[in-house]
Amino acid sequence: MAPLLHLRDVALTFGGQPLLEGAEIAVSAGERVCLVGRNGSGKSTLLKIVAGIVEPDSAERFVQPGATIRYLPQEPDFSGYKTSLAYVEAGLGPGDDAYRAQYLIEELGLTGEEDPASMSGGESRRAALARVLAPEPDILLLDEPTNHLDLPVIEWLEQELKSLRSAMVLISHDRRFLSSLSRATIWLDRGVTRRVERGFGEFEAWRDEVLAQEELDRHKLDRKIAREEDWLRYGVSARRTRNQRRLGELHGLREQRRTARQAVGSVRLEASEAQASGKLVIEAVDIAKAYDGRPVVKDFSLRVARGDCIGIVGPNGAGKTTLINLLTGALKPDSGTVKLGATLEMVTLDQRRESLDPATPLGDALTGGGSDQVMVGGTPRHVISYMKDFLFQPIQRGTAVGALSGGERGRLMLARALAKPSNLLVLDEPTNDLDIETLDLLQELLADYGGTVLLVSHDRDFLDRVVSSTLISDGDGIWTEFAGGYSDMLAQRGRGVGAKVRAVPVKGSATASATPTPTTSTAAAKRKLSFNEQHALKTLPQQLEKLQAEAGKLNAALAGDLYTRDPKLFAKATARLDEVTREIAQTEERWLELEMLREEIGA
């Protein structure tokens, strides 16, 4: 199948260091590709090159004439737009359905009248998503589409993207999201890309095999160099004839070893643990909190023991941060009591990174300024050594915090938090902007941590891997605890977080911006078939008939003497039959899913 878009030999250098060296990316109609790699490897830059926003040093670029491309940036620009709907409608092209813009605005929990200058991070992301989805382009380029979204919107977005016919290139740190949507994976590593025709669910095992083979090849090269050096020192022919050819080969091997770009090291995460707390860490009895008569927490009781890891999930505006503040004593309940255990030493990681001054140099953010030592668990360490544990380069010591990428700021917040002795970790969206390898290490750290953890997260996979129980909002201030992670909660509860909730600030509340209250309606909460799902139900049977007819023609051609007459055409027909067979299976599966969904809604 001819690609809609193909970039090859992409090269780009930043600050004298090569970021991309011969990278390649190809996207065909309907493909769903995830682009993965470490923070700083150049994923977002490569996606901007694909979108035509960044000009590379060199590249060969082909785009199918007439193909439409839409790009979702991490930080959209709303300047010049008076409302969110005006911003979304500006992304429509000639012939696009204006109704779909309004439909997506409503589905994403917006009114369309929001002032872009005052929208929250979540509202900005939803408006940006509506803008790129409304035209239904041939190619969708999505850079961290789930950032700042709550679980209901993430799950809605998954279903919406599945219903689209657009080809997609996805960058995300959300494992569950990538595994659900991707069918191929492009790995950007040390400036080059490698592609595997498997979804993200199978990528990590393949990546580990590649890295293991690289290590074996490097070991073989080292042994070969050692043998040649031994020959150079002691070989008779070398001393007598000075075999220049073999000497040149040795120099070539050394150069090959020297210039090989090795895999970037791993973040070293180790929490500084304080003296163990008492067995009972938190005891909340019948606590309640409301703003302007709207309950955020109502008649809630909980006992938290040492070593517990409790996940807290719910829509934006459900009161997750308020609940944490109540449990940790930062906020007094309207009624009920909260008792904290003895010898608690609490460390908090806030989701907004608000404690970071953008003008502060990276080194000072770690040391507090005026020193080159970081106190890690009460032991001094040189700031450069500690920076390296979190993949910062020595040259970045003087870099202002505001100039760091989102992933780098996330690592900086972890470095600051983990340096302090603690036996209670309060983590509010710790996974934001972290790459998958760092998430793995954070998961291992929390598994080995001897203290207690309160964790707010929208990352379903991370919750499944880490927490021992899950607190979920049932609306109207009701919170329920389930044993196990998010999937366990789903199995016990029978449903996920729930309908999308539009956050509405409570006037007159001192904490209105931090603790918005939810409002929803029965019509918004009710599941219904989307515009794309309705269209797919009408068109999928016809697509299936065409594919089956094509498969019948190909089978008839292959059954004859085509192989003896034209082996190349036979091979081409065989490959096409494999493609058609896969497309038939995918089309049947999608049609059955939609039929079952329609029956459930009707019931």
Those residues whose C-beta lies under 8 Å from the C-beta of residue 571, and which sit 6 or more positions away, are none
Copy the structure tokens of residue 563.
């192989």
| Domain co-membership, 453 together with 536 | no
Q: d(Cα 358, Cα 550) in Å, to the nearest integer?
A: 60
Last residue of a domain, one of 525, 560, 581: 525
Tell me what the mean pLDDT of segment 466-482 comes to: 91
| Domain co-membership, 393 together with 517 | yes
What secondary structure does DSSP assign to 118-156, as a single string?
G--HHHHHHHHHHHHHTT--SEEEEESTTTT--HHHHHH
Domain annotation covers residue 255:
no
- Angle at which helices 151-163 and 121-133 cross, to 10°: 10
CB 412 within 8 A of CB 430: no
Which of 158-162, 360-364, 376-380: highest mean pLDDT? 158-162
| Domain co-membership, 449 together with 377 | yes
Which CATH number fits the domain that encloses residue 445? 3.40.50.300
Helices (H), 390-526: 406-419, 436-448, 460-466, 486-493, 522-525
| Domain co-membership, 137 together with 115 | yes
* Helix (H) or strand (E) run with residue 470 in it: strand 469-475
Domain annotation covers residue 221:
no
| Domain co-membership, 9 together with 49 | yes
pLDDT at residue 336 greater than cutoff 90? yes
Q: d(Cα 542, Cα 545) in Å, to the nearest integer?
A: 5
| Domain co-membership, 302 together with 181 | no
Please list the helix, strand and coil fractions of the chain in percent, rounded to the nearest 5, in that order: 45, 25, 35
What's the pLDDT at 229?
62
Q: d(Cα 156, Cα 222) in Å, to the nearest integer?
A: 52
Q: Mind listing the pLDDT tens digit for each residue in 58-74?
A: 999 999 999 999 999 98
What's the pLDDT at 353?
52
**Residue 108 φ then ψ, to 5°:** -90, 10
| Domain co-membership, 312 together with 427 | yes
Q: d(Cα 105, Cα 86) in Å, to the nearest integer?
A: 11
What's the pLDDT at 506?
38
CB 156 within 8 A of CB 127: no
Sheet holding 58-63, edge to edge: 17-27, 5-14, 58-63
Domain annotation covers residue 380:
yes
Confidence of residue 233 (pLDDT cuts 50, 70, 90): low
The tally of domains found in the chain comes to 3
CA count, 13 A, side-chain hemisphere, 278: 11
Domain annotation covers residue 253:
no
CB 133 within 8 A of CB 480: no
Antiparallel, parallel or unpaired: β 139-143 and 452-456? unpaired
- Angle at which helices 531-559 and 567-602 cross, to 10°: 150
Least reliable range by pLDDT among 33-37, 45-49, 152-156, 255-259:
255-259
Domain that holds residue 29: 5-205
Total residues found in the chain within this entry: 603
pLDDT at residue 222 greater than cutoff 80? no
Which of 169-178, 219-228, 275-284: highest mean pLDDT? 169-178
Across 15-151, where does the E strand assignment appear? 17-27, 32-36, 58-63, 69-72, 139-143
| Domain co-membership, 196 together with 145 | yes
Q: d(Cα 312, Cα 338) in Å, to the nearest integer?
A: 18
| Domain co-membership, 290 together with 386 | yes
pLDDT at residue 176 greater than cutoff 70? yes
